Amino acid sequence: MSDLLKLTAVEARAGLDSRAFSSVELTQAYLDAVTATRPLNQFVTETADKALEMAAASDARLAKAEAGLLEGLPLGIKDLFCTKAVQTTACSAILKGFVPEYESHVTDQLWQAGGVLMGKLNCDEFAMGSSNETSVFGPPVNPWSKDGGPALTAGGSSGGSAAAVASRAVLLATGTDTGGSIRQPAAFCGVVGMKPTYGRCSRWGIVAFASSLDQAGTFSRTVADSALMLQAMAGHDPRDSTSANLPLPDCQAAVTAGVKGLKIGIPEEYVMDGMDPAIMALWEQGQKWLVEAGAELVPVSLPHTRYALPCYYIIAPAEASSNLARYDGVCYGLRVEAESLDEMYAATRSAGFGEEVRRRILIGTYALSAGYYDAYYLKAQKVRQLIARDFETAFASVDAILTPATPSAAFALGSKQQDPITMYLNDVFTVPASLAGLPGISVPAGLSEAGLPLGLQVLANKFAEDRVYQVAGALEAAAGFTLAPPRAAGEVQ
C-alpha cells in the first residue's frame, strides 16, 4: 500500500471522497510507515489504536457525506499541543507522565475537521532549540541522512514534525514557531512549513514558551496541503486573548492564483557574510522564477535585521522564565521531594529541566531582575518596535518578501552543541518576522551540493496569508522539487 503514502493531502481527500480507498486503509498504510521509520525517533507517543478508531469514525462520516476538511487524513501532532487523555510532555522530563484533561484549541479544530491522530511528535524541550537535540527523548534523525553518512538534524524545534512529514510517517503535522521552529526544520527536511500571523491560531492548550511570539502552524508536502490544513486550524478563540477575530483569506485559491503584477521585496540586509554559496544561488534562482512568473522585484531595506537575534534572545528567554515558573512540582509533572517547599521547587526544577532550558530561564530571570529590566527587556522591546517598523515600511511598497529560509542545509547531529550562540544563528532569517508577528512559509526549492534540501522563505504583511500562499505556490510550481529522502517509508533502504 506504499502508493497511498505518495498521495498529497488534497489527493487523499479526493480518493476518500470517491471511495477509491477508506480512511482505515490509508491510516493502516501510515501506521506501517510509522513502524518502518521508528529508527528515525520521530514519535514520542504513538496512538495506533486511537488512529484506527478515528479512521473508522471518519469512514462512517464519509459514508454519510458528512466529511470535514481533513476527514480521514493521518496527522501528527507536535508534543507541545495538549491532547486529552494522550500524554503531552513538551519533550521535557518535568512533564513526563502528564496526561492533559483537555484538548488544545488547534487540535480540537483538527479533530472536528475529521483528522486522525497518529501520535505525538518529537521536538526540542519546551520548543527551545534549533536541532531538536534538547528533547529528553533524544533527537529525531533527518530522513535525508545518507546510509553510512552522519545522522543529520531534522532541525528544530519542530524537528519530529518536519521529519515525519518528509519520511511519509504522517500526511500532515502541526508545529509551533517562536523564532523559526516551523520554517527551519521544514527547510532542513524538504517540506513546506507555514507559520501564520501571530494570533491566527489560538495558543490555548499549547505548552507556552514565549507567549508574545508563539504561533502554531503546519507541515505538509505541498503548498496546497498547507493551505488546506491552515483553514482547518485557524480561527478565533476567546480563551486566547491574543487570538484574532478576523476571517482567514481564501488561501487555497491563492495557491494557484499566480504572482503576475505582484511586487516582491528583496531585503539587502539578508545577504550575510559567510553565507553558503548554494543558499545565495538558490535565492537568486527564486527571484528569477518569480520574475518569469510575472512578478516585479523591488529592493527593500530592513536596517535593524542584525539586531533581531540579540533582541529575540532577550525577549524569548524573559517570557520563558515567567511562563516556566509554573513547573514547581505542586500541580502536575515531576516532583523531587525535599524538606521545605522552597527546596522542593529548586530540586524539582533542577532535575526536571534540561541544560538549554535552565540556561534560558536563568538568562530570562537575569534580564527581568531588578536593576536590569530597563537595560535588557525594555531595550529589547524598543528594538522590537524598530524591527516591526522596518517591515511596515517595506510592506508599504511590496506585496511579499523573498529570503532564504536558513543559512545552511541540515548539519550533523552533535556538531553545533558546543556553543549556544552558534546554534542560535540558525534562525537568523526567520527571527525578524517572528518579532514582527508576520506570516512566513518555507518552501523546498532545491538541493545543496551534498544533495540536501534547501528552502526559500516568503513573508507577507500581517493577516495576508493569501499573499504568502500565492508566492509559495509560484515558487513550488517553478522549482519542481522532488521529495525523495533516502530514509522515507516506501523507499529502498
Partner 1 sequence: MSVDKDTVKKIARLARIAVPEDQTETLAGELNGILNWIAELEQVDTEGVPPLASVTGHPLPLRADQVTDGEQPESVLANAPEQASSFFVVPKVVE
89 vs 412: CA distance, rounded Å? 26
344 vs 477: CA distance, rounded Å? 57
Q: Which of 181, 226, 243, 321 is catalytic?
A: 181
Residue choice 1, 60, 280, 341 for contact with partner 1 (CB under 8 A): 341
Residue 76, helix vs strand vs coil: strand
Q: Which is nearer to partner 1, 172 or 210 (CB)?
A: 210
What are the backbone angles phi and psi of residue 404, rounded to the nearest 5°?
A: -65, 160
Residue choice 13, 349, 416, 487 for contact with partner 1 (CB under 8 A): 349
C-alpha angle 25-29-35 in degrees, rounded to nearest 5? 140
- What residues numbered 157-216 form the site for partner 1, per CB under 8 A? 198-199, 212
Q: Which of 22, 23, 58, 78 is catalytic?
A: 78
Instruction: Decide if 120 is catalytic.
Output: no
Instruction: Decide if 92 is catalytic.
Output: no
- What residues numbered 430-489 form the site for partner 1, per CB under 8 A? 435-437, 462
Phi-psi region of 89 (alpha: psi -120 to 50; beta: other; left: phi over 0): alpha
Q: Which is nearer to partner 1, 289 or 353 (CB)?
A: 353
Q: Which stretch binds partner 1 (CB under 8 A): 4-12, 169-177, 247-255, 346-354?
A: 346-354
Residue count, binding to partner 1 (CB under 8 A): 71
CB of residue 429 to partner 1, shortest distance in Å: 18
CB of residue 358 to partner 1, shortest distance in Å: 6
- What residues numbered 85-144 form the site for partner 1, per CB under 8 A? 97-99, 101-102
373 vs 364: CA distance, rounded Å? 10
Q: Which stretch binds partner 1 (CB under 8 A): 303-311, 404-412, 442-450, 475-483?
A: 303-311
* Residues 154 and 180 sit within 8 Å (Cβ to Cβ): no
- What residues numbered 371-390 form the site for partner 1, per CB under 8 A? 372, 375-376, 378-386, 388
347 vs 392: CA distance, rounded Å? 46
Residue choice 2, 93, 256, 307 for contact with partner 1 (CB under 8 A): 307
Instruction: Decide if 288 is catalytic.
Output: no
CB of residue 262 to partner 1, shortest distance in Å: 24
Please list, in sequence order, all residues whose beta carbon lies within 8 angstroms of the beta carbon of residue 278, skipping any fewer than 6 positions away.
Answer: 409, 446, 448, 449, 454
E strands present in 91-180: 116-121, 172-177
410 to 429: interface string for partner 1, x by CB under 8 A: ---------xxx--------
CB of residue 103 to partner 1, shortest distance in Å: 13
363 vs 42: CA distance, rounded Å? 30
CB of residue 313 to partner 1, shortest distance in Å: 6
Residue choice 253, 271, 281, 362 for contact with partner 1 (CB under 8 A): 362
Distance, CA of 14 to chain centre: 26
Element (H, E) at 404: strand 400-404
- Residue 273 in the binding site for partner 1 (CB under 8 A): no
What sign results for the dihedral spanned by CA atoms 394, 397, 399, 402? negative
392 to 411: interface string for partner 1, x by CB under 8 A: --------------------
CB of residue 98 to partner 1, shortest distance in Å: 6
* Residues 394 and 303 sit within 8 Å (Cβ to Cβ): no
Strand order, beta sheet including 172-177: 43-46, 116-121, 74-78, 172-177, 215-220, 192-195, 440-447, 453-460, 400-404, 263-267, 296-300
Residue choice 369, 393, 397, 415 for contact with partner 1 (CB under 8 A): 369
Q: Which is nearer to partner 1, 136 or 192 (CB)?
A: 136
Q: Which is nearer to partner 1, 210 or 488 (CB)?
A: 210
Q: What is the number of alpha carbons within 13 Å of residue 76 lying toward its C-beta?
A: 35
Please list the active-site residues. 78, 157, 181
